[in-house]
Structure 1
Amino acid sequence: MYYIKNITQNKFDHSNVYLSFNGGKDSVVAFHLYRIASHEFSTDKKGCELQAVYFKDPSANEFSEITSFIHAITSKYGVNLRVVEDKWERGVKSFENSSFILGSRSMDEGCADLKPLEAGNAGDFEFYRINPILNWTYGDIWDFLLYFQLEYCPLYDQGYTSIGTVDDTLPNPYLKSGDTYLPAYKLTQWEHERCSRVKQ
């Protein structure tokens, strides 16, 4: 929480800092960390507002539960949500001189070498990624959400542990219990988190 506050306050104009929010469990943790940190901002900078952006790939078959959750949770907490109907790589170009708080973890594909603050680019367009939960484990994510009784997408209670699109995501077979599936937080073998994903 304080890391997010300090790094955004000292390096960036808060009006150009966005939470990249996709409704997944990791993103929800980043959402609440930034939401808490924003209260600290409001005592220092009058009128501080939390901003989120949802990059919605129009070609992807998204879960309706994810889309509904994104709108419900941002509305509940009064977050200014901007929906960009494009993939991240193209959509980010509409945010000049901006920085994005992400829910990336080092165990995620392509994230092993990420640093807490990363300069990124999309062609000639440059931006910053802020990664506050890089070193969190799957267990850490669920400990945080459950301890503070925070809402998350209901798909996780149906056995989904890593959510992509309808076409590449299934309940995790390691959570199968008879004819149903246990909730995602019941997974004890964290290395099987992505067994919810179907290889295309």
Structure 2
Amino acid sequence: MSDFNLQDFIANHQEDAAQKIIHSALAAFDNIAISFSGAEDVVLIDMAVKAKKDVHVFSLDTGRLHPETYRFIDQVRKHYGIDIDILSPDTQALQDFVKKKGLFSFYEDGHKECCNIRKVAPLKAKLATLDAWITGQRKDQSHGTRNQLAFAEVDSAFSNEDHTLHKFNPLANWSSEDVWNYIKMFEVPYNELHSKGYISIGCEPCTRPVLPNQHEREGRWWWEESEHKECGLHIGNLAPKS
């Protein structure tokens, strides 16, 4: 890992398919993990397992997921015969927050504070133990925050002077149609909520089905008007790109 050169990696994989990017990332780093929550992430898992049987996968359990999502996580675990590291929020921090603000403060105060406790803090602790991670982000998921998404980068949000974290987004240039074509072709498991009009799926109180012709992120935090709909897991997307 110490001799990994990001610019060389990018130059050598500009025209490569997502599978090749994943395979190369897994070969370059031993201490690397796939972040799993949605349809894109299972595509990554499917590709990764075909290259390396002992892939490291983790998922965030916010305590507010849909029942269908919990069943989906276990379905993926059994389908691929893999362990999934389930990350939970700090109990005391969550108890203090709910005691002070209630269970639905995000409808009045915005989602950032709740997401920080339930998602960002557990993720930050996990990423501090890794050298690299793989995500299912796509450019077309949000034109406000992901349109310049690179397929390989230093994660500026979670790196510091003592720890450089690399981030791989192999599906950056994929469309939703590409994802679903792969799922159908290789019979990849998917969350049953997708069959009920949900496209981008997060916590139950903060996610709803989208209407025809609506962008997929319209179903997330719909009471907020901002186009910058990120929960903080990919907060580096909000920083200006040089």
TM-score range, shorter chain: 0.7 to 0.9
Question: Which whole-Å CA distance do the structure 2 matches of 1:112 and 1:104 have between them?
Answer: 10
1:26, 1:104 within 8 Å by CA — same for their partners in 2?
A: yes
- Report the counterpart of residue 134 of structure 2 in structure 1: 101
Does the Cα contact within 8 Å between 2:75 and 2:189 map onto a contact in 1?
Answer: no
Q: TM-score, normalised by structure 2?
A: 0.63
CA distance in 1, matches of 2:55, 2:39: 19
Cα pair distance change 1:83/1:170, threshold 3 Å: same
Cα deviations across residues 154-187 of structure 1 (Å, max 9, x unaligned)? 111111122122112222221xxxxxxxxxxxxx
Give the 3-state SS of the residue equivalent to 2:167 in structure 1. strand
Specify whether residues 81 and 195 from structure 1 end up closer, same or farther in structure 2 by C-alpha distance, changes over 3 A only. same
1:85 shift after superposition = 0.7
Aligned length: 170
Structure 2: stretches of 5+ with no match in the other structure = 1-18, 90-118, 225-242
Does 1:72 pair with 2:75? yes
In proportion to residue count, which structure has more strand? 1
Given the alignment of the two structures, is residue 138 of structure 1 paired with residue 161 of structure 2, yes or no? no
Higher relative contact order structure (alpha carbons within 8 Å, sequence separation ≥ 6): 2
Equivalent residue, structure 1, for 2:29: 12
Give unpaired runs (5+ residues) of structure 1.
40-48, 175-188
Give the structure 2 partner of residue 35 of structure 1. 49
CA distance in 2, matches of 1:146, 1:75: 19
Note the 1:37-186 alignment, pairs <5 A: 37-38=51-52, 49-58=54-63, 61-86=64-89, 87-94=119-126, 95-109=128-142, 110-120=145-155, 121-122=157-158, 124=160, 125-174=163-212
TM-score, structure 1 as length reference: 0.75
Counterparts in 2 of 1:50 and 1:7: CA distance versus 1, 3 Å:
closer
Equivalent-residue separation in structure 1 for 2:211 and 2:186 (angstroms): 28
User: How large is the Cα RMSD of the aligned pairs?
Assistant: 2.1
Identity %: 24
